[in-house]
Amino acid sequence: MDAEMKKNLDMAVSSDTTEGQVDVPSPAKCRQVRIKTDLVVMPLITISMTLAFLDKNALAYAAIYGLKEDTNLKKQDYSWLGSIFYFGYLFMEFPNLWIIYKFPAGKYMGACLMAWGISLGLMSVCHNFAGLAVIRFLLGVFEASILPCLILVNSTWYRREEQPLRTAFWANTFAGVFGGILSYAIGRINGSLSTWKYIFIIYGSFTLVVGIAVFFLLPSSPAQAWFLNDELKSVAVLRLASNQTATESSTKLRWGQIVEALKDTKYWCLAIFFIAQSITNAGITNFNPLIISGYGFSQAKTVLMATPQAAVAMVAQASMTAVTLFVPNMRCIFWVISSGIAMAGAIMVKTLDPVANRDASLAGVYLMGFYNVSWVMALSLQSSNVTGMTKKSFVSVSAACFYAIGNIVGPQFFLESQRPHYSLGIGAMLCGFAVMMGTGTLYFIICAIENKRRDRKDGAVDSEGTRVTAGLDAIRDDLTDKENKNFRYTY
């Protein structure tokens, strides 16, 4: 525990106590902390994740504008460019487990964003598969920090009931809408370079600028928050303590917590989900515009017609997340429902003749956008349901690893010989959506049963003061969700 964190914990506990319980911070003070956090932390992490989505979509838009022809890509070369990124991503994840302990998350994220922006710009000077492959690998290395850092930041700053909405913001699909419109606008540039090169230059330049901002402005925890005074730092600690979620209370790597995670059924349930979801993600991010171009649209029209899928996802994500703010334990239900709707869309794309039923096929493509809702729900559940600094870091890094594995495998189902309909790839996505529905159902059952078992054994914890006191104890002792008898899982 760093000195600043210890100072704020001591300040929190030094408030008046009654029967061993600390005072609960007033709603007004909690609201003040939340608003300040929303105004500083949320924009920085939301823009960072938006850039990650733009980066992933950039390759597909570049392909529409002639990347494949200009760089002489053959057969499965384009599919391998989709996979190679995630080899770099996977390569870097377990070093990230150590790096996250040693360096402030804001500094590390900012440095990675700057390096990733420079690498993205260098894509514009590549003229063959080998050059593109090297840069794509480096992009994966630098971008690997984003997801585990954001999961940690989410749980460091927000209460569990606040996390779904915030996750929906930073794990947004706005990039799909903005990226499509921006790529269309870039396509109108009459410059000396090929259109696809401008995509990488513009995206890379913006990423570099954002990286500098994140490096200097994103604090790693409430203890380092430049926008909170000492009183509000203590309030930030207390409002999270009642939530039974620890901030950065330990810098010691606890191997027992890693073993505990590996024995946790929920860990493996999410692992299977992230792999399945990422296989579908690989198809949508890398091949969605190529599928739509097969419906007979021009380059510019294809870029625009790909945009509504992200808009559908954004509306679905916002509406379902809003419900979770008022109705408890709905996240798994929406996880399953959204996966089912996406599956229905994939069935339409696979079974309908795109020539005779182009509009219906296009509607199926748009319905597949619901897949992103399940990802947001799963990420927020992972953030909410894991405590213990080592366990939380390990699970966050693991999620990124499983995400990478699915995205490595996914593009290989999309055979160039089956372009533009990619029947095998759409079939793989169908299987992925089915697995996503199954894992969401299983996660719901596991959490509900465990909560009932804990209530029978230890009794329900109803007092807010008791939750605050127990939460502070959990922070000091770096307790995991399994060790903390007052912890209850959300689902």
Q: Mind listing the pLDDT tens digit for each residue in 143-170?
A: 999 988 888 888 888 988 888 888 888 8
- Rounded CA separation 355/181 (Å): 26
Statement: residue 3 has pLDDT above 80: no
- Give the pLDDT confidence score for residue 140 in this predicted structure: 94
Minimum mean pLDDT among 45-54, 133-142, 264-273: which range?
A: 45-54
- Give the pLDDT confidence score for residue 469 in this predicted structure: 52
CATH number of the domain located at residue range(s) 23-249 in this protein: 1.20.1250.20
- Give the pLDDT confidence score for residue 245 in this predicted structure: 55
Domain ranges across the chain:
23-249, 254-490
Q: Which residues contact 303 (CB under 8 A, 6 or more apart)?
A: 61, 64, 180, 183, 184, 187, 289
Residues 388-410: what's their mean pLDDT? 90
**What is the number of other CB atoms lying within 10 angstroms of the CB of residue 326?**
8
> Judging by DSSP bridges, how do beta strands 17-18 and 21-22 pair with one another?
antiparallel
- Give the pLDDT confidence score for residue 471 in this predicted structure: 52
Statement: residue 350 has pLDDT above 80: yes
User: Are both 23-249 and 254-490 of the same fold?
Assistant: yes
Please choose, from the candidates 317, 337, 325, 345, the residue with its C-alpha nearest in 3D space to the C-alpha of residue 426: 345
- Rounded CA separation 47/159 (Å): 21
- Average pLDDT, whole number, for the chain? 87
- Give the pLDDT confidence score for residue 470 in this predicted structure: 53
CATH number of the domain located at residue range(s) 254-490 in this protein: 1.20.1250.20
- Give the pLDDT confidence score for residue 476 in this predicted structure: 59
Statement: residue 1 has pLDDT above 50: no
DSSP assignment of 53-81 equals HHHHHHHHHHHHTTHHHHTT--TTHHHHH
Residues 112-132: what's their mean pLDDT? 96
Residues 368-392: what's their mean pLDDT? 91
Residues 40-44: what's their mean pLDDT? 95
Q: According to the 3-state scheme, what is the secondary structure of 337-398?
A: HHHHHHHHHHHHHHHCCCCCCHHHHHHHHHHHHHHHHHHHHHHHHHHHHCCCHHHHHHHHHH
Percent of the chain with pLDDT over 70: 89
If pLDDT is split at 50, 70 and 90, which confidence band does 172 have? confident
Statement: residue 246 has pLDDT above 70: no
Q: Is the pTM of this model over 0.85?
A: no
If pLDDT is split at 50, 70 and 90, which confidence band does 252 have? confident
If pLDDT is split at 50, 70 and 90, which confidence band does 406 have? very high
If pLDDT is split at 50, 70 and 90, which confidence band does 16 have? very low
